[in-house]
Amino acid sequence: MTSSNVRAARRKKVRGGRNRGTFLAVITAAVFFGVLVGLLPLGQVPGWLLAAYALFSAVAFGMYGADKSAAVRGAWRTSETTLHTIVLLGGWPGALVARQVFRHKTTKQPFRTILWCTVVANCGALAWFASQR
């Protein structure tokens, strides 16, 4: 195999992995929002909570995109603490999608570990909240 064929195969592999990661992130976010919508008529979650998750997800998506843009330009960056805070507040569906779309903060440790801990903490708080209604 020539070196150009090897490079082409590597590019194809990277793109395929990226598409799969983006697909999984979108599916995860869609399933989460689907569960919330399903809990609305049961009275387990109020409508404002669904709206808050949507708002924080949109904000998180924008923040990750802006941070990636700043990283590329060498400009002022959003702190990791701020990114984790928006995830903890409920922006994790948007953050998961943004990480894949922008290829930002996908391999850096301990960022990934802290991100997943905040997702679990948020989901745990949501489960507790829903069980109190």
Q: For residue range 83-124, what is the model confidence (pLDDT) as tens digits?
A: 999 999 999 999 999 999 999 998 889 999 999 999 999 999
Average pLDDT over residues 71-84: 96
pLDDT at 11: 52
CA distance linking residue 102 with residue 14, whole number of Å: 14
CA distance linking residue 118 with residue 87, whole number of Å: 7
pLDDT at 59: 98
Neighbours of 122 (CB within 10 A): 19
For the stretch 4-13, pLDDT in tens is 555 555 555 5
Q: Are 91 and 59 in contact (CB under 8 A)?
A: yes
Alpha carbon separation from 49 to 35, 36, 90 (Å, rounded): 12, 9, 9
For the stretch 9-30, pLDDT in tens is 555 555 555 688 899 999 999 9
pLDDT at 107: 87
Alpha-helix residue ranges (DSSP H) falling in 2-110: 3-39, 47-73, 80-86, 92-102
Least Cα distance to 64 among 115, 13, 1, 118 occurs for 115
